[in-house]
Structure 1
Amino acid sequence: MLRRCFVLLTVLSCLNLFLTTVTRAADQQKPNIIFIMADDLGYAEVGCYGQTKIKTPHIDQLAADGMKFTQAYAGCMVCQPSRSVLMTGQHTGHTAVRANDLNQLLYEEDKTVAEVLKSAGYATGCFGKWGLGYEGTPGRPNQKGFDQFTGQLLQVHAHFYYPFWIWRNEEKVMLPENENNQRGTYIQDLIHADAKSFIRQNSKQPFFAYLSYILPHVELVVPEESERPYRGKFPKREIKDPRPGYIGSEDGLTTFAGMVSRLDAHVGEVVKLLEELGIRDNTLIIFTSDNGGQGGNWKEMTDFFDGNAPLKGHKGTMYEGGLRVPFIASWPGKIAPGTTSDLQIAFWDMLPTFADVAHAKVPAGVDIDGISILPTLLGKGTQKKHDYLYWEYTKGTIRSRALRMGDWKAVQNRMNRPIELYNLKQDVGETKDLASQNPEQVKQMTEAMQQAHTEPRDFPQTLKPVGIKGYVK
């Protein structure tokens, strides 16, 4: 009898130890990371950054629940190099892709944040615009650390909301319902649905979801239910893309507002899903944009909504309106709600930050320009700061560049043009060029820009465009 009791107690003790171990393992599961990046969303095109005409309640709630950064910067002033910076942790003086150029792409030796997190046991998924390598090249997502990909490989393909195909991993999935000017599948919705499926499928393990959404980049089109709340509220203006094959809108302001609202709704659905799965508290969410709001043919639209206010310039310029972006971080129980940070950060900080969150190692033998901002997010420890932030756009003989050093900002729109100098603390709108009054400051920042630049990769001209909607002929 005593022997039976001893055996029973031993079994119960082992079972209790097993359950305790399992519970502790669950409690200690590495945090999930979701990085949501809008496309061409201006600094002030969401409510928590000052927008009054377009409603973004879900993004605003994300800010209320977490931390809003007021001096956060994209990797570049256009999409492709900005994404290269995000993936590699290197600013555009070092990263492989430094321009919107179909022939610039990541190579095998370029290590990405997805590869870093995958090595730490994370499931990894990318959903939306990629832009860093097309079919048959080493730069495509499944070769750069992503287990799952749904989206558009080339950035020009991601201009279209009713394309003829979409990529799922290495498979080109045809969409005949979008041919012959049909509007069967709004591709942002499909991308979003696959992103949510990835989160569901990997909710029991740590995951990294890179939601590289294409809203609200033109072309101007969105399903009617997103336009309906704004119908009749704005002046009716026809806004069309001059390029052939692009959809425009007879009520462009309403359409654009609807596109931003649809993006906001998708953000809300991601948060709701995390709550339903019981993993919201163990998930760091970051929301941002790949560059500033749109200019050119859409400048009147951006201006109407004060999309880049109070900043100068827009997408495609090295002024604040092209580089400074909304940036929100939310992590319940870890990031204090309703907080604001004026820390100067940039996309190249994401790789070391996410490695820090995941207790992973950054790539060995690679110069990473980023600094982990985890101390700021958690309000613990000492936060390192950048000596400067640097951007360049290099395509052939064309190069523009900018550098921020403390409150000073240097801008050189072309290498044969003079350097402009602004004090952003006193003049965030970059209205007063102070270069002539501060020659020593210009000299110091010029030297820093020269040191930050390395010679770009010599890319062979290999791309053979395909004559189907979404690729250029």
Structure 2
Amino acid sequence: VVCAPSRSSLMTGLHTGHTHIRCNVGGAPLLPEERTVANVLKDAGYNTGLFGKWGLGDINTTGVPWKHGFDEFVGFLHQAHAHFQYPRFLYDNGKELHLKGNDRPGRQTYANDVMNERALDFVRRNKSNPFYLYLSWTVPHFEPHVPEDSMAPYRGRVPNGEEYVNKQGRLKNQRELGPAYAGMVSRIDNYVAALMALLREHKLDEDTLIFFTSDNGGVMGNFHNDYFVNTAGLRGQKTTMYEGGIRVPMIARWPGKIAAGKTSNHVWYFPDFLPTAAEVAGAKAPAGIDGVSVLPALLGKQQKAHESLYWELPRYDAQTKSFRKEKPMAAMRRGTMKVVRPKPDAAVELYDLAADRGEKSDLAAKMPDVARRMEQQLDGARTEPRQQDEPPHPWWEARS
């Protein structure tokens, strides 16, 4: 869906109609009693580290990662702080970590390089201990900027697309959007290669379970004729309830346990990560969550399918610090059938994903009983979110 609610589902095992972080307010915090996968794994004897974007509680709130199971954190607490590629500072747990050469108008130290190196250092220091590393880079994302060594190879090879212009003036504009985006993707490739090389160096690569995924679907706007095919031809994109907004790859690597080069058609989502990680670690997942362990599917065994999967993205009113009193944009999948409310209070649409992967044929008029039943299930799958508490932002002007 979008950054913060997706990450909240990943961390808590609750779907986006139950987790209390429902939108990209970004500073709205987890409460002290809300447990995360890091809490579960830390209790099971793992050292835990997060390097990158958090999004579940800003500084001076109850939601910071070091209050929710992470021993170490370096990165961005608020999702909008993470829009800066060259910020003046990151957070190193509760302290500001100032980045060399990034005071105005400098742009010397790339934030993701810092976060990635700290993640590698975490692995080195924990090579003899069980560890959980949540490596949450912030690229590719707008602001679309990357160091020259990553961008230069794509000039003249990748179309520029439309110029990226930030109307608020917070983020730096980019005339060469296509090469910059390609460069950000390549930099991620290099980060992954460095991590894999380090794991091999310390003989950890055969005994480490690695997941690689994204928090939401891709974007198409501004790119020349959808040059990067970010949604693989699916309808919609980030912020929508169509498959292009919610379906993402999940790559898993675990030599000797997960068969190499295999694909699975099992449908699962972010709430399943917490119980899966708990089962792998021999720990117990919290009661009352929406996720189920998909370890059987990973191991190539019989896996029970979800009865239903649910997503939503309600609208937030910053003036009242509350969500609008309306039926939110939402979707539910049951088997191959999917019901979508594309806009708040809109009539639902119905699709059979087995026959219509691109969601081009709305079946609601042809199958009114199914549409009506699934709409009732859609509306009953959620709880009302709590009021959000957005604190002041000491980093709001932390651009370079």
TM-score (norm 2): 0.94
Partner of 2:259: 336
> 5 Å matches for 1:17-416?
77-175=1-99, 177-242=101-166, 243-295=168-220, 298-300=221-223, 303-363=226-286, 366-380=287-301, 382-394=302-314, 395=316, 396-397=323-324, 399-416=328-345
Cα gap change, 1:467 to 1:191, in 2 (>3 Å):
closer
**Cα distance in 2 for residues equivalent to 1:344 and 1:322:** 15
TM superposition shift of 1:443: 1.9
Unaligned runs of 5+ in 1: 1-76
Q: Structure 1 residues 171-180 or 118-127, which shifts more?
A: 171-180
Contact 1:159 1:470 in 2 (8 A): no
TM superposition shift of 1:378: 1.2
State the Cα deviation string for residues 11-68 of structure 1 (Å, max 9, x = none).
xxxxxxxxxxxxxxxxxxxxxxxxxxxxxxxxxxxxxxxxxxxxxxxxxxxxxxxxxx
More helix by share: 1
Contact 1:302 1:308 in 2 (8 A): no
Contact 1:402 1:412 in 2 (8 A): yes
Secondary structure at the aligned position of 1:149 is classed as strand
Unaligned runs of 5+ in 2: 317-322
**Cα distance in 2 for residues equivalent to 1:110 and 1:438:** 40
Letter in 1 for 2:292: I
**Cα distance in 1 for residues equivalent to 2:291 and 2:253:** 20
Secondary structure at the aligned position of 2:392 is classed as coil
Secondary structure at the aligned position of 2:332 is classed as strand
* Higher Rg of the two aligned structures: 1
Contact 1:294 1:302 in 2 (8 A): no
How many aligned positions are there?
Answer: 389
Contact 2:177 2:223 in 1 (8 A): no
TM superposition shift of 1:430: 0.9
Letter in 1 for 2:253: S
State the Cα deviation string for residues 233-276 of structure 1 (Å, max 9, x = none).
12334522323031232221111111101111111111111000
TM superposition shift of 1:414: 2.9
Contact 1:308 1:314 in 2 (8 A): yes
Contact 1:237 1:251 in 2 (8 A): yes
Q: Percent identity of the aligned residues?
A: 46
Cα gap change, 1:210 to 1:313, in 2 (>3 Å):
same
Letter in 2 for 1:264: D
Contact 2:160 2:223 in 1 (8 A): no
**Cα distance in 1 for residues equivalent to 2:18 and 2:225:** 31
The structure whose RCO (Cα within 8 Å, separation 6+) is larger is 1
Letter in 1 for 2:96: K
Secondary structure at the aligned position of 2:263 is classed as strand
Q: Structure 1 residues 217-226 or 300-309, which shifts more?
A: 300-309
Contact 2:162 2:222 in 1 (8 A): no
Cα gap change, 1:176 to 1:330, in 2 (>3 Å):
closer
**Cα distance in 1 for residues equivalent to 2:295 and 2:163:** 42
Letter in 2 for 1:291: N
**Cα distance in 1 for residues equivalent to 2:222 and 2:331:** 22
**Cα distance in 1 for residues equivalent to 2:165 and 2:65:** 29
Letter in 2 for 1:112: T
**Cα distance in 1 for residues equivalent to 2:10 and 2:190:** 24
Letter in 2 for 1:315: K
Q: Structure 1 residues 110-119 or 432-441, which shifts more?
A: 432-441
Contact 1:410 1:445 in 2 (8 A): yes
**Cα distance in 2 for residues equivalent to 1:140 and 1:301:** 39
Secondary structure at the aligned position of 2:121 is classed as helix
TM superposition shift of 1:176: 5.2
Partner of 1:449: 378
**Structure 2 residue aligned with 1:420, among 324, 344, 349?**
349
Q: Structure 1 residues 121-130 or 247-256, which shifts more?
A: 247-256
Secondary structure at the aligned position of 2:59 is classed as coil
**Cα distance in 2 for residues equivalent to 1:138 and 1:340:** 40
Cα gap change, 1:264 to 1:173, in 2 (>3 Å):
same
Contact 1:97 1:105 in 2 (8 A): yes
Query: Displaced runs of 4+ in structure 1, greater than 3 A?
Result: none
Letter in 1 for 2:155: R
**Cα distance in 2 for residues equivalent to 1:465 and 1:163:** 14
TM-score (norm 1): 0.80
Partner of 2:320: none
